[in-house]
Structure 1
Amino acid sequence: MLSVTGVTLHYGSSQILNGVDLTARKGEVTCVMGTNGVGKTSLLKAISGTHPWSGGSYTLDGEEIRHASAHMLAQKGVAYVPQGREIFPFLTVQENLETGFACLPRAERHVPDEVFDLFPILREFLSRRGGDLSGGQQQQLAIARALVTRPKLLLLDEPTEGIQPNIIKQIGEVIRRLRARGDMAIVLVEQYFDFAFDLGDRFVVLERGAPKLTGNAAEMKRQTLLQAVSV
């Protein structure tokens, strides 16, 4: 589904990513881990098209991607849930969900019933402003808005950050249900070790913008991974 090889990325003269390889397959969760400032969010920005990468190759569903815009990648099925959620505080929940329509053909511009099956609280709050929701509810809204686009590749950046434990559990169950469908690849950037370890099928640990450790869940020992992501 997704393959990036040797990806580099710069902010001005500063190199943030240095030869990162990552593979994400449908029906799997690929976890990107590491301490703060190692390039995890920058990798998602490169994959989503929200920041241009400097070098390397990027293949999506067998198609080579050459510096496509975020809008074009969204049309190709890439959905990005950024750190901090970035919902529109003065728009209602309904209106926030409908912002996902921008990359869809007109015939598909409706909110799928599955969104409310996964996040039933949002149906109750459709007329409530996004800024009036709790942090956990805003995170659910941000993921739901991404799902409105019918993604083939879902990028999640720190979905547990600042969220109460019961919502973290719900988000974990949503990720499991999406994975079980088998038609979506999921890339998860996550600092909460137990959450990531329980969900991950593949792991990529970054250090100073480069891969430090990679492997799949079957071969990755918990202690080895924990040591790799520790300061």
Structure 2
Amino acid sequence: MLSVAGLTLHYGGSQILHGVDVEAAQGEVTCVMGTNGVGKTSLLKAISGRHPRSGGNYRLGGEEIGRASAHALARKGVAYVPQGREIFPFLTVRENLETGFACLPRAERHVPDEIFELFPILADFLDRRGGDLSGGQQQQLAIARALVTRPRLLLLDEPTEGIQPNIITQIGEVIGKLRREGRMAIILVEQYLDFAHALGDRFVVLERGAVKLAARAADVGREELFQTMRV
């Protein structure tokens, strides 16, 4: 679904990403890992179009992607759940979900029933303002809003950050279900090693904006991942 090769990214005069290669296959979870400040969020911003890449090749579903905007990539099936969630606090849950309609054809502008099967609590809170939800409920809403767009590629940036354990478990179950359904590729940026290791089909560890390790799950164990992230 996604193939990125030699991706570079700058913020002003500072180079953040140095020739990063990432692949994400339909029906798989690619976990991008590393300590704070190594470029994980910058990578997702480049893939989602939030920040233009400086160089490198980008193919989505076999199509070569040029300097596409975030909106254009959303129309092509890229959905991004940012760190911090970025829900609209003064809009209701229903209205937050409906913001995902912007990149859909008019005939598809409805919230699928599956959303409420994945996140039942949202059905009970449709008329509650997003800002009145707990952090874990806001995270569920942010993921649900991304899924409303029917993505081919789902980008998740630290979905477990600041979330209570029971909702972390639920989010893990949702990611696992989406993987089994096989309709999308998922890139998960995560520092919670056990969560990532349980879900990942591929692992990419970044260090100082470059790939330090890239391996399939069958070829790398938890301890090797842990040591690679520490060193």
TM range (shorter): over 0.9
**Cα offset, 1:223, TM superposition:** 1.0
Name the SS of the counterpart of 2:155 in structure 1.
strand
**Cα offset, 1:180, TM superposition:** 0.4
Match of 2:134 in 1: 134
RMSD: 0.5
1:196 equivalent to 2:161? Answer no
Match of 1:7 in 2: 7
1:168 equivalent to 2:168? Answer yes
Amino acid at match of 1:5: A
What TM-score, normalized by structure 1, do the two folds share?
A: 0.99
Q: Point out 4+ residue stretches in structure 1 off by more than 3 angstroms.
A: none
**Cα offset, 1:222, TM superposition:** 1.4
Q: How does 1:207-218 map to 2 (within 5 A)?
A: 207-218=207-218
Match of 2:64 in 1: 64
Which ranges in structure 2 are unaligned for 5 or more consecutive residues? none
2: distance between equivalents of 1:228 and 1:144? Answer: 33
2: distance between equivalents of 1:221 and 1:166? Answer: 26
Match of 1:48 in 2: 48
Name the SS of the counterpart of 2:213 in structure 1.
strand
Amino acid at match of 2:99: T
What TM-score, normalized by structure 2, do the two folds share?
A: 0.99
Match of 2:26 in 1: 26
Amino acid at match of 1:30: T
Identity of aligned pairs, percent? 80
Which ranges in structure 1 are unaligned for 5 or more consecutive residues? none
Name the SS of the counterpart of 2:218 in structure 1.
coil
2: distance between equivalents of 1:5 and 1:52? Answer: 15
Match of 2:223 in 1: 223
Q: How does 1:56-205 map to 2 (within 5 A)?
A: 56-205=56-205
Deviations for 1:127-176, whole angstroms, at most 9, x for unmatched residues?
A: 00000000000000000000000000000000000000000000000000
Deviations for 1:18-63, whole angstroms, at most 9, x for unmatched residues?
A: 0000000000000000000000000000000000000000000000
**Cα offset, 1:221, TM superposition:** 1.6
